[in-house]
């Protein structure tokens, strides 16, 4: 494994937003599909009980399939519309298309950094970078679905920037 480059205080401010790797979209789609299938299936059961329908298997199954399809599409799209960038001042995370959110974590607010890799993430070469910050509002920022090399590089660069800022 090669050593990451030393901190460069002259990082350009026009660093491009980086997309998450496409292989993580399958995991995002699967997780959302399962969640939505359960939600739609349960909603159909409740609706069936309230309206006293007799199709005890057909309606919840159709609701679960519809929920799985919608959830898979939303999860895949959410993953494909998530971007990150690291500049000299902050880590930025941008999500969404219609309802966009953009979070910037100033390096001076970072308390500590974690990498999380479950068994499926390890198989796909992915990781989740968790940035813990000072303060109470949004005190953690998690970027799931990063390529493992990118997550390690971000963690090391943020830690190096923290050390550099502490030395000043």
Per-residue pLDDT tens over the stretch 128-138: 999 998 876 76
The pTM score is 0.77
Cα angle, residue 149 at apex, residues 86 and 106 outer, rounded to 5°: 20
Q: Report how far Cα 12 is from the mean position of its chain's Cα atoms.
A: 25
Rounded to the nearest integer, the mean pLDDT of the chain is: 85
End-to-end Cα spacing for the chain: 30
- pLDDT on residue 6: 42
- pLDDT on residue 139: 84
Cα angle, residue 68 at apex, residues 63 and 74 outer, rounded to 5°: 125
- What b/e sequence results for 131-146 when a residue is b if at least 16 CB atoms lie within 10 Å of its CB, and e otherwise? bebeeeeeeebebbbb
Q: 50-92: per-residue pLDDT in tens?
A: 888 777 788 889 999 999 999 999 999 999 999 999 988 889 9
Q: Mean of the pLDDT values across residues 21-44?
A: 94
Provide the 3-class DSSP secondary structure of residue 20: coil
Read off the tokens for 89.
């001042």
Residue whose token pair is 């989740």: 128
Q: Is 128 exposed, middle or buried (0-12, 13-18, 19+ CB in 10 A)?
A: middle
In Å, the largest CA–CA distance within the chain is: 72
- pLDDT on residue 2: 43
């Amino acid at each position: 494994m090669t050593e990451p480059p030393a901190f460069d205080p002259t990082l350009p401010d026009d660093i491009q937003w980086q997309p998450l790797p496409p292989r993580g979209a399958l995991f995002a789609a699967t997780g959302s599909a399962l969640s939505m299938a359960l939600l739609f299936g349960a909603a159909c059961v409740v609706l069936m009980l309230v309206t006293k329908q007799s199709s005890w298997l057909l309606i919840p199954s159709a609701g679960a399939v519809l929920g799985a399809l919608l959830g898979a599409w939303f999860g895949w799209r959410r993953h494909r519309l998530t971007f990150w960038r690291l500049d000299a001042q902050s880590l930025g995370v941008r999500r969404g298309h219609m309802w966009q959110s953009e979070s910037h974590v100033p390096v001076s607010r970072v308390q500590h950094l974690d990498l999380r890799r479950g068994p499926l993430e390890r198989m796909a070469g992915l990781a989740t970078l968790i940035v813990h910050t000072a303060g109470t509002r949004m005190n953690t920022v998690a970027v799931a679905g990063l390529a493992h090399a990118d997550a390690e590089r971000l963690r090391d660069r943020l830690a190096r920037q923290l050390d550099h800022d502490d030395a000043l």
